[in-house]
Each structure stands twice: as C-alpha cells, then as structure tokens.
Amino acid sequence: MEESSLKESDNKKRLSISGGFSLDGNLRDYSILEIKGSAEIAGNVSAQTFEVSGSIKCQDLEFDQGEVSGSVKANELTGNKLEINGSLKAGKVNVKEIEINGELKASEVNAEKVIVGKKSRVIGTVICTTLELKKEAEVDSVIAKDVDMGVSSSVDSLECYTCKIGPKAEVEFLKYVVSAQIDPEAKVRHSAKVDRISKDFDQSK
C-alpha cells in the first residue's frame, strides 16, 4: 500500500492529502482541501476551496472555489467557481462560472458563464447563459443564450438566442432565436431560425 500523508490544521479546517488515501465515508466541511496524491472517497466531499493536483474519486463534490490541475472523477459537482487545467469526469456539473483548459466529460454542465480554452474539449452538453470558445476549442452540444465561437472552434449541436461564429469554426446543427453572425470562412452545415430552443432564457438581462 502506498504511504499516505494527511495533514489537518484545526484552526482553519484545512486538509492536505499526499500519497495514497482511501476513506469509506464522507469528507466534509473543510475550509481548504488539497489533494496532491491519490484519494478515493466512498462518500461525498465538501470544502469551501479545493485544489487537486493529484487525483480524487468520490460521489458528490460541493465547493465554493475549485481548481483541478490533476484529475477528478465524481457523480455530481456543485459550486460557485471552477477552473479545470487537467481532466474532470462527472455525471453533472452545476456551477456559476467554469473555465476549462483541459478536458471535461459530463452528461450535463449547467452554468451562467462558461469559457472553453484553446484546444480544450467538453464531451457532453453545456447549458449556460454565456459561452466563449477559444481557438480550436470543442464542445459536443450547447444550449445557451449568447455564444461566441473563436477561430477553428467546433460544436456539433448549437441552440442559442444569439451567436458569433468565427473564421474556420464548424457547427453541424445550428438553431437560433434572435441572430447568428457567421463568418464567411465558417462552416455551418445545417441552420434554422426558430421561435424557441430547448431552454428559455431571460432576454431582459
């Protein structure tokens, strides 16, 4: 068995895990949780701030601020702000803001603001108010109010109110309610202006 190191500071409820660590239960109510090694938690995890440079596998993960430079596997993530610089696999992700500079695989990502960085990828459906795709970013499916697709980015299925589709960007199926600005060098294979999409967004905001 790999040696594990567990350091807990009571005054700030801070927990740092390095090496190998497993727990047949929950890991809850920490102010700061750092995973530098490999952690397997049979139950749920909650922390105000979590940082994963190693790997963690758990059921549900609740947080305010989260940063992943390693890998995370979880059933559901719920939080305020999440930054992914590594890889994350989950059933559902529910956050206010998320920035992906790596790979995210989830059946559904619900957020207000989503940024998918250069050459990064989201495998699954993104449902959000605003979405920005950087150069060569890829997303399977999008349902959003406002979408800005950068150079050579791609989306298989895009439903939106408004969108800007940049040079060499690719969309297989596009449905839009208000407007679509499509660069002459972009490739949109099927497009339609529709009365409504799969989710209603507040147009007054």
- The residue whose two tokens read 């809850």 is 28
For residue 153, the one-letter residue type is: S
Distances (CA, A) of 143 to 56, 158, 177: 29, 6, 12
- DSSP strand pairing (14-23 vs 4-9): antiparallel
Tokens standing for residue 27? 């890991």
Q: What pLDDT does residue 2 have?
A: 39
Q: Do residues 125 and 140 touch, judged by C-beta distance below 8 A? A: yes
Q: Do residues 25 and 40 touch, judged by C-beta distance below 8 A? A: no
Angle at 173 between CA 155 and CA 181, to 5 degrees: 75
Q: Which of the residues in the chain have pLDDT under 70? A: 1-12, 204-205
Q: What pLDDT does residue 202 have?
A: 84
Give this prediction's pTM.
0.93
Q: How far is the C-alpha of 20 from the C-alpha of 136, rounded, in Å?
A: 36
Q: Using one digit for the tens of pLDDT, what is the confidence trace for 74-111?
A: 999 999 999 999 999 999 999 999 999 999 999 999 99
| Segments making up each domain of the chain, as ranges | 1-69, 96-198
Q: Do residues 150 and 167 touch, judged by C-beta distance below 8 A? A: no
Q: Using one digit for the tens of pLDDT, what is the confidence trace for 139-161?
A: 999 999 999 999 999 999 999 99
Beta-bridge partners for 113: 97, 130
Q: Do residues 186 and 168 touch, judged by C-beta distance below 8 A? A: yes
